[in-house]
Structure 1
Amino acid sequence: MPVDQHSDPFEDRFAAALRDTGAGFDADRAALTAAGRTRGRRLRLRRRAAVAGCAAGIALVGVGGALVLPGDDASGPRRSSTAAAPTASHSPAPTAFSGDDLLRTLKGLLPDGEFSQESARGTEDRMGPAARLVYDDGKGAAAVAVSLDRVEPGGEEAREFTRCPDETYVPHDSCTSRRLPDGSLLMLLQGYEYPDRHVDTKWWNAELVTPEGHHVSVSEWNAPAQKDAEISREEPPLSPERLKEIATAPVWREVVDATPRRPEPTATPSDPWRTPGQAVGKTLAELLPEGVKVVSRGGQESEFAYVVVDDGKGASLVQINVQHGMSDVADELYGSGETLPDGTRVATRQGPGDDRVPGALMWTVDTLRPGDDGFRVVISAFNNGAAHAAPTRDEPALTMEQLRKIALSPEWDAMR
């Protein structure tokens, strides 16, 4: 499960998050209370969209020539290359987009208004193309950002980007996900920058993935910055329909096509095998003690699942991760725990849940089976029915002994 402080939490597994912290079990609490892979995906999108401080890396002139994008041209942005005209036997030279090009394009797609605090990256930047600015239509300044990359068409990442988030972890006012006539997947989200809403900054987002793998992310806020800025207007300036128009603009696909393809990370034998999330959730439900009723459930495609249970005393969230390849952090996680006769290591914790939710509790049992596969099962129960909600009961619905019994169940061994 990802945590907020990492650079790319969607791609970083929970295991990687733990390795990065380099701390003991108590320091791992943030990872355990994070909102699963869905929350990680949202954090990654917002970081990519922010492009704060990226101006120093802007490529002003790209490979193959310069680019002209008149923002007032009703026909839309145009590219012009200074490269020699292609012959019949050669493909056209690729034309790169600079950061300035992306800014001009974004401005041309926005309604009339004033712009400030601009920053961008071009297609030659190793971080990928993105643009960010503050837009004011006369009703208050608002941050607007676009980021672009490519994903595998039809792959897990494409589905994650365009799947509406689970309200158990990511509260939002509205979300739709649908397939467009051209086969693209589009998600439109009206949510919040902070899941616990300790600051009521609104974050609206459009995610587009085309059948060819172009990924376009457009975000806007009702403040001049996504964080640490006073709310300047009641809502972000662009309607969901306008977000859709911007995200589906054909020019962004050209930008993605012009972005150099970089080598994909090579899998190594140490890479963990991901357990299907559906199997994790099914096993968790089967292992619940008698007397608790499952009122909702969910999870991700791999490793992570949750149920919300009620024993008649209020809703209680129970979440679980099943992971491989965790032996290298065993001493960090279980140094102060116990070792069972069969070599299984166990660490437990009872303490607060979300620090910003008064009275929220989280009880956790964390286990690591012996063996080279580093097989870990970690389960947590809360005294609220959603990650950032107010407590619904005095204590979690499952006792520490019940959590321990679930985590140590031999049923998980089938997933090793």
Structure 2
Amino acid sequence: MSAADDGREGFEDGLGVALRRTGEGFTAEGGQLVDVGVQRGRRRLRRRRAGAVTGSVAALAIVGLGASYAAGAFGSDAKTLSGVAAKPSASQSKTPGEKGKPGKKGAHGTGPQLSKEKVIAVLEGLLPKGTVSEADGRGTADQLGPSARLVFDDGHGKSAIGVSVGAVDPDGSDASDRLQCPDKRFIPYDSCTMDRQPDGSALLLMRGYEYPDKRVETKLWHAFLMTPEGYTVDASEWNAAAEKDAPISRPEPALSIAQLKTLVTSDKWRPVMEAIGEAAPEPLAQPPAQGTDAESIQKKLTALLPGRVHVTAKGGQDAGYAYLVVDDGKGETLVQINVQSGMGDVRKDLFGHGAQKLPDGTLVVTRQGPGDDKGGAGIVMWTADTLREDGFRVVVSAFNSGSQSTDATRSQPALTMDELKKIALSQTWQQG
């Protein structure tokens, strides 16, 4: 796998995936809704192998769409709904690395299996008066999980709607990840709220956009419900007949946010939930290495910045990622960094031809190029990627704007490539 492939994988792990997952059934390619468990497992593998390349700015965290945005999505300004389920944490009894036990209801639950036609019928039955076309989906026995998708027209224009039903460990990281609003630094949205329902379920409602840079004004409205048992109902709708590559057909999606809430909270989904059964508890994740939490990374990165810049914003995740927005008086620059250990297995993939080897064995690769095809106009990305002999990796990137999803505000980043290399090679990162 080349460095370019790695960057694409990192991008698919975040920016391009999460806002598309529910709507993939509406694309010309005829993709399908992807079960959250399957997708998250693949995402974790890709993130491990690709090393969460920061250049992808996988930072658009609408977490109910089947895949959390990988890096930087949940910044310091992100809101989190904690204590989703009012019961003792199942993960507290597990030791690091212990495999979860099967769910209470087994692989197929206690209820009868439902065909895709019956799952689609549930969605159709919850819609207001109108016409339905292009309906498709999956039944509860499908290994990717049940889903329904269709195009709905209430007489005011077509609107694509997709729903999937799944199950997660309500005490696991997947649940907490999926119940957070994104950092507006990375994705614009009109509103995002999180509430607890009377039955203890957690509900996220968001009115956003299909494209973070709004190059097409396709609106994406989203609702994600998680019950106390961990069952999820995940719905999205667009103001077009498809999530992409279709003209806008109405000012807003067909269902109001209130109607979207009613749809995902309906008891009509209960037979679908019972057919799939509860999820197994997640293994307790290994805690991050000392000094690799977002706050520590932010502090270290701030101390390593040249004196001519000052920090205007910051955020990140606990899993080795953080970002700063800096300004040298000539415009903002987004600077993001990943700090990772045990990455020796990407040595050949990312540090092959063209890599510089320092006397202590550290490998260094630098890259300059477009931010990516999803970013704002004129965005460029400069990256310094380093790998120590023990597999310790630090990769830092800078952009010529304060956000990758907005147009460039300057010709090049505020930090030079030499400064990025100096930051990435600093011994500070291996200090607790």
TM-score bracket for this pair, using the shorter chain length: 0.7 to 0.9
TM-score (norm 2): 0.75
Separation (CA, whole Å) in 1 of partners of 2:63 and 2:159: 23
| Partner residue, 1:35 | 57
State the 4+ residue runs in structure 1 displaced beyond 4 angstroms. 5-15, 17-20, 37-43, 260-269, 271-275
Map Cα deviations across residues 216-238 of structure 1 (whole Å, 9 max, x no partner). 11100011111221211111011
Identity percentage of aligned residues = 47
Matches within 5 A, 1:102-117: 102-117=119-134
Structure 1 stretches lacking a partner, 5+ long: 21-27, 48-91
Separation (CA, whole Å) in 1 of partners of 2:215 and 2:39: 22
| Partner residue, 2:324 | 307
Q: Cα offset for 1:93?
A: 5.4
Q: 2:388 aligns with which of 345, 348, 369?
A: 369
For these two proteins, the number of residue pairs brought into alignment is: 360
| Partner residue, 1:189 | 206
Separation (CA, whole Å) in 2 of partners of 1:263 and 1:382: 41
| Partner residue, 1:159 | 176
Which stretch has the larger CA shift, 139-148 or 164-173? 164-173
Given that 1:115 and 1:136 are in contact with CA atoms closer than 8 Å, whether structure 2 keeps it comes out as yes
| Partner residue, 2:379 | 360
Map Cα deviations across residues 230-268 of structure 1 (whole Å, 9 max, x no partner). 211111011111111111112324422320467789899
Given that 2:54 and 2:337 are in contact with CA atoms closer than 8 Å, whether structure 1 keeps it comes out as no
Which stretch has the larger CA shift, 281-290 or 241-250? 281-290
Map Cα deviations across residues 33-65 of structure 1 (whole Å, 9 max, x no partner). 333354484764599xxxxxxxxxxxxxxxxxx
Map Cα deviations across residues 276-321 of structure 1 (whole Å, 9 max, x no partner). 3333333323332223221111122322211111121111101111
Secondary structure of the structure 2 residue equivalent to 1:123: coil
Given that 1:18 and 1:31 are in contact with CA atoms closer than 8 Å, whether structure 2 keeps it comes out as no
Given that 1:174 and 1:189 are in contact with CA atoms closer than 8 Å, whether structure 2 keeps it comes out as yes
Separation (CA, whole Å) in 2 of partners of 1:279 and 1:395: 27
| Partner residue, 2:347 | 330
Secondary structure of the structure 1 residue equivalent to 2:221: strand
Q: 2:421 aligns with which of 365, 383, 404?
A: 404
Structure 2 stretches lacking a partner, 5+ long: 1-8, 18-33, 70-108
Whether 1:256 and 2:256 are equivalent positions in the alignment is no
What amino acid sits opposite 2:152 in the alignment? Answer: Y
Separation (CA, whole Å) in 2 of partners of 1:266 and 1:164: 25
What amino acid sits opposite 1:357 in the alignment? Answer: G
Q: Cα offset for 1:401?
A: 1.7
| Partner residue, 1:220 | 237
Secondary structure of the structure 2 residue equivalent to 1:363: strand
Given that 1:2 and 1:12 are in contact with CA atoms closer than 8 Å, whether structure 2 keeps it comes out as no
Given that 2:133 and 2:151 are in contact with CA atoms closer than 8 Å, whether structure 1 keeps it comes out as yes
Q: 1:237 aligns with which of 242, 249, 254?
A: 254
Given that 1:205 and 1:220 are in contact with CA atoms closer than 8 Å, whether structure 2 keeps it comes out as yes
Whether 1:339 and 2:347 are equivalent positions in the alignment is no
Shift of the 141–3 alpha-carbon distance from structure 1 to 2, 3 Å rule, reads same
Q: 1:3 aligns with which of 5, 11, 19?
A: 11
Given that 2:377 and 2:406 are in contact with CA atoms closer than 8 Å, whether structure 1 keeps it comes out as no
TM-score (norm 1): 0.78
Separation (CA, whole Å) in 1 of partners of 2:362 and 2:198: 53
Q: 1:16 aligns with which of 17, 26, 46?
A: 46
Map Cα deviations across residues 307-351 of structure 1 (whole Å, 9 max, x no partner). 111121111101111223321221221111111111111100122
Shift of the 124–189 alpha-carbon distance from structure 1 to 2, 3 Å rule, reads same
Separation (CA, whole Å) in 1 of partners of 2:161 and 2:210: 13
Secondary structure of the structure 1 residue equivalent to 2:229: coil
Separation (CA, whole Å) in 2 of partners of 1:252 and 1:192: 26
| Partner residue, 1:294 | 311
Q: Cα offset for 1:352?
A: 1.9
